Amino acid sequence: MKILAKPIAFEWDKGNINKNLTKHNVTDKEAEEVFGNKPLKIFEDIKHSEEEQRFVAYGKTDSKRSLVIVFTLRKEKIRVISARNQSKKERREYEKQIKTNTKV
């Protein structure tokens, strides 16, 4: 399933500037880095896709920080809703998926 357009572009909500930095100590730049690094695992967030389709990405920043990014697509641009560290459970699942090269 192709989700992301190439090249990848981002749209940031002016009302949420620095929300992820304040709440989770994740900069906007770090959140963007995840989409340029491999392996990147993306899946639909069906549970939270009531008003608009949402996705969850598991990936790593340039400094190898493991993050979870919740996002939506608006006019083929990624709009980050939340960015935070992966939990232990999420990190185990991400590493397992990398080893077996399957979808999360």
26 domain-assigned: yes
Looking at the chain, the whole-number percentage of residues with pLDDT higher than 90 is 65
7 domain-assigned: no
9 domain-assigned: no
pLDDT for position 46: 80
Which of 99, 65, 85, 78 is CA-nearest to residue 5? 78
pLDDT for position 99: 85
Structural domain count of the chain? 1
69 domain-assigned: yes
pLDDT for position 104: 47
Prior bond to 39 cis, omega within 30?
Answer: yes
Distance (Å, whole) CA 44 – CA 83: 16
Average pLDDT over residues 42-66: 90
Q: Which pTM was predicted? A: 0.86
Owning domain of residue 36: 14-100
Element at 100 (helix H, strand E): helix 88-100
Question: Which tokens hold the place of 74?
Answer: 């608006």
22 domain-assigned: yes
48 domain-assigned: yes
Q: Is pLDDT above 70 for 86?
A: yes
pLDDT for position 103: 54
85 domain-assigned: yes
24 domain-assigned: yes
Q: Is pLDDT above 90 for 70?
A: yes
- Using CA atoms, how far residue 55 sits from 52, 61, 63, 98, in Å, is 10, 18, 23, 18
